[in-house]
Amino acid sequence: MDTDLARAWVLAIGVAVGRNKDRLTRLDSAIGDADHGTNLDRGFTAAATAVSDPGLDTVGAVLTKTGTTLVSTIGGASGPLYGSAFRALGRVLDTPLADPLAFTGALSVALASIQKLGTAATGDKTMIDAYAPAVAAFEEQARRRTEFAAAAAAAADAAEEGMRATSPLRARKGRASYLGARSIGHQDPGATSTALMFRALADAAANPGT
Ligand code: ADP
Ligand code: MG
């Protein structure tokens, strides 16, 4: 990942979140408070503006700016969680160019920071159920020296599989956990937005300069 791809990724997430805003909110209305789509749309619209600053000249600068913008613009649980993840990526990737192994290391730190803040484990029906398999898939590809775009595509596939697997789970963290067994049968909104983020990364990496 270079600085242009970091910027393109954030913009691509903004486009994906904008297109899926109503779907994310519908998922959150089933097991939450119907604000996940508007929360993320507000956050990534602000982040898209923030990262257009040409003074951000490393991958880390772009991703840290994204994280601080998400924290300051999203009111719900997802703001601090995604914000801390992007800030962790930014902290680790203090470089103009990160290879797949360096990006893997950063993703692991980002996942750890979401888990430190939210204390959710895999199977709790949260964004972790998409994020953790995505990180594992990216790492597996990076260790095989797969190129960045293909590793990102594998991560997106794993995130989408993890997202779909949240439906039969009973929520143990966040607002959905208040519903107990009634949370079963609904796909988690945060796992869904995490899958959008990894798909946006795969698409941006596959189409540099667009
Ligand atoms: P809120 O729940 O405050 O309304 P959002 O609707 O924006 O915030 O985000 C809800 C999503 O946040 C959930 O679908 C879930 O994936 C994620 N989430 C909530 N609590 C946690 C947690 N403790 N750890 C990880 N993810 C969480
Ligand atoms: Mg909500």
The mean pLDDT of 155-180, rounded to a whole number, is 97
Name which of 24, 19, 47 is nearest 36 in CA terms. 24
- Distance (Å, whole) CA 108 – CA 44: 22
75-79, 88-92, 123-127, range with the lowest pLDDT? 75-79
pLDDT in tens, 53-87: 999 999 999 999 999 999 999 988 999 999 999 99
User: Ligand 1, closest atom to CA 175?
Assistant: 2
Pocket test for ligand 1, best of 22, 78, 194 (most atoms within 8 A of CB): 78
Q: Tokens for 17?
A: 């979140």
State how far the alpha carbon of 102 is from the alpha carbons of 1, 87, 182, in Å. 9, 15, 41
- Distance (Å, whole) CA 30 – CA 27: 5
In this predicted structure, the answer to whether residue 208 has a pLDDT above a threshold of 90 is no
Where does ligand 1 bind, in terms of residues with CB under 6 Å? 28, 32-33, 35-36, 39, 76-78, 81, 114, 118, 120, 126-128, 173-175, 188-191
3-206 falls under which CATH superfamily?
DhaL domain (1.25.40.340)
pLDDT in tens, 101-115: 999 999 999 999 999
Question: 36-50 and 21-31 are packed helices; what angle lies between their axes, rounded to 10 degrees?
Answer: 140
The mean pLDDT of 117-126, rounded to a whole number, is 98
- Distance (Å, whole) CA 132 – CA 122: 7
From ligand 2's centre to the CA of 146, what distance in Å?
37
Judge whether 67 and 47 are in contact, CB under 8 Å.
Answer: no
pLDDT at res. 154 = 98
15: left (phi over 0), alpha (psi -120 to 50) or beta: alpha
Which residues lie below 8 Å from residue 15, measured CB to CB, with a gap of 6+? 200
Question: DSSP class of residue 186?
Answer: S
pLDDT in tens, 36-46: 999 999 999 99
Split at pLDDT 50, 70, 90, the class of 166 is very high
DSSP codes joined into one string, 111-180: HHHHHHHH---TTSSSTHHHHHHHHHHHHHHHHTT--HHHHHHHHHHHHHHHHHTTTTSPP-SSGGGGGG
Q: Tokens for 57?
A: 């000249």
Taking CA atoms only, the protein residue closest to ligand 1 atom 4 is: 76
What is the percentage of the chain residues whose pLDDT exceeds 90? 98
pLDDT at res. 165 = 98
State how far the alpha carbon of 93 is from the alpha carbons of 26, 78, 186, in Å. 35, 22, 35
Partnered with residue 88 across adjacent β-strands are none
B/e letters for 47-60, b = 16+ CB within 10 Å, e = fewer, are bbebbeeeebebbb
pLDDT at res. 209 = 76
Which numbered ligand comes closest to the C-alpha of 34? 2
Which sequence spans correspond to the domains of the chain? Answer: 3-206
